[in-house]
Structure 1
């Protein structure tokens, strides 16, 4: 599944109509969650039952009926996705909170399936045919959509972002593999000092996008509270603040994509750490830096380009990789402040490079043994600096971003 994103150009009344469709989607999702919560235990609420409930909502509320019927079903599918995730966490006995479905307050998208919209023959305009009043809007961006038949478009989503409105197309195609330029083997040790250190001794600099923009972000945040509530100047200040964060997010996405592509294009085996990032950010002293470096995003792109270039990617347990000598295997205890690995066998390496070599060795063992990793590929296309993380789609399953918002 490929996701193409275009900037939407329309009139103010059309933007207001999009906002109304987004609010209606949020209303349907929240009503579906409430319907599931209030249902008696003996009642079996599943995806089909929630879809039927959207039909009842269309009969009860006029503003819901104005939205396309399949868009209403897509809204209840979002509710079911949250419910199903909760059930799955309970069955798997996930430790901690089980992510009980919550009512949504900040929905920013409305999703159509195969009806409720029609593309212009030039494919530079799209018309939404329901009664919300969106009508025809222009699409700005690269015209990759021209190369795909309309029948292959399975979902259309309108998204509101800080810098405007976007239209995303989920196209059902098969990802075409590409050939690698080299067949090396690489171990990656991610960190905060460097974005990663590899087993060849290379250190990729940590760009620290948020840290560099933090001063400007804090300044725009202070400006919000200097404006009177309910006034237009406060709304403008909030929009300026949101744009700062959106820019940082896009910088992280593009950086992770570029680095992951280069790594997979040059190597037949890539071993990396299977880090529990969700647990690591609970350390309030390092949470900001960990979120800024975006390790999870980098891992997603590694797994995508592994499919693209036929690279084997292996996630290994990072335990003791920094303490173990990559030459003789002895354990050399060292604190985090010790940045050089020195062993009695004569091995002397930068701490992260030593860890990367150990990670590569573990990756080779996993590849040759029973615990070989199976990567999941995703497909995206970036247009007008669009956020890549929001465009992630699995190779064989519909994009979770199109069913779980």
Structure 2
């Protein structure tokens, strides 16, 4: 599935109608959640049928395309299904009970309700809101794909304008020559990651660099806010400038993650990384000092002081793009458990307990001295190779190449 994004160019009246369409889709989504609360035994198709009742009861809801109403019901069912799944898996603490949303930022059409021009540079929305024709601004070319391959069209309201996203059903595969290299990655805060070869990539820290400007813009928004009164145009402009700055930071993170992940995948045939639960790492801390259980394994303490730095690093986004490009280029990506990767010695395997402030690994057993992150990357790589060996993964289907890889892996193990 490919997603092509274009910026929309049109009149302000058309954008106001898009806002109305988004509010209508949000109303249908919230109504479906309410309907499920009153009738907890209904299913996905019952919600789709309920959309027809909403269109009959509310004239303005009937203006929205029927498939767009079904897509809004699908969003409600996604929240409900996630709640059921968490309950079934016995996820601790909150299970994610579906909530009503106050604000919406997008509406999704399926295969009807829109029409592309012959030159594929304009889109016309044909539902009851009569938005009309909008120009598509972007570098992607839709001529390479058939209209029937476009399964979804999503209208998105952003801080810097309105966008149209085309979801295209196509299997993207790029063939490149194998590099016969394997690598283990240990992500961190001092450096974005350190690999098993000792190479390091600096942490860009986009949020930290923009923090001064963000605080200044936030002060302007706070000064212009009037509690209990209608907000002025100057407040809306200040809030939009703040949103644009946050949007720029998020785009910088994404651009960095995409380019770095593509480079790593193209340069290696096997990439091993940690299966980190980033969401748990940035939650409120529950202790002060790491404790040891009866087994001797250190207990992970949720340290909220590092939450901003961890979120700024965007480890999870980097992992998602690694896995995506791994499928595109036909490479192996392996997520391994992060337990003991920093404490074990990569040479002899003995446990060397280190605090987070200790940045050098010094093994008293085999006298190995390594950078802490490089030692962890070697342990991550060893875990990943053992996983590949048990599963018998053959990414290329060529026996001679697999034999060469086995020889290289044997040298690394020594």
When the two structures are superposed, what TM-score results if normalisation uses the length of structure 1? 0.89
CA deviation after TM superposition for structure 1 residue 177, in Å: 2.6
CA offsets per residue over residues 12-68 of structure 1, 9 Å max, x none? Answer: 0000000000000000000000000012x5xx3111100110000000001101111
Whether the 8 Å CA contact 1:366–1:372 is kept in 2: the answer is: no
The corresponding residue for 1:205 is 202
The corresponding residue for 1:324 is 344
Q: Taking structure 1 as reference, are residues 334 and 372 closer, same or farther at Cα in structure 2, changes over 3 Å only? A: farther
CA deviation after TM superposition for structure 1 residue 346, in Å: 2.5
Whether the 8 Å CA contact 1:66–1:131 is kept in 2: the answer is: yes
The corresponding residue for 1:249 is 250
Q: Taking structure 1 as reference, are residues 294 and 280 closer, same or farther at Cα in structure 2, changes over 3 Å only? A: same
Bigger mean CA deviation after superposition, 227-236 or 173-182:
173-182
3-state SS of paired residue (1:219): helix
CA deviation after TM superposition for structure 1 residue 181, in Å: 5.6
Residue 364 (str. 1) matches residue 365 (str. 2): no
Q: How does 1:77-226 map to 2 (within 5 A)?
A: 77-180=74-177, 182-226=179-223
CA deviation after TM superposition for structure 1 residue 320, in Å: 1.1
The corresponding residue for 2:25 is 25
Larger Rg, first or second structure (1 or 2): 2
The corresponding residue for 1:64 is 61
3-state SS of paired residue (2:15): helix
Residue 352 (str. 1) matches residue 353 (str. 2): no
3-state SS of paired residue (2:165): strand
In the aligned structure 2, how far is the partner of 1:94 from the partner of 1:334?
31
Runs of 4+ in 1 over 2 A off after TM superposition: 370-374
The corresponding residue for 2:275 is 274
In the aligned structure 2, how far is the partner of 1:292 from the partner of 1:178?
33
Gaps of 5+ in 2: 284-302, 396-414
Bigger mean CA deviation after superposition, 138-147 or 48-57:
138-147
Bigger mean CA deviation after superposition, 108-117 or 176-185:
176-185
CA offsets per residue over residues 118-156 of structure 1, 9 Å max, x none? Answer: 001111000000121311000001142111111111110
When the two structures are superposed, what TM-score results if normalisation uses the length of structure 2? 0.87
In the aligned structure 2, how far is the partner of 1:320 from the partner of 1:294?
22
CA deviation after TM superposition for structure 1 residue 274, in Å: 0.8
Residue 284 (str. 1) matches residue 304 (str. 2): yes
In the aligned structure 1, how far is the partner of 2:245 from the partner of 2:180?
40
Q: What is the root-mean-square deviation in Å for CA atoms of aligned residues?
A: 1.5
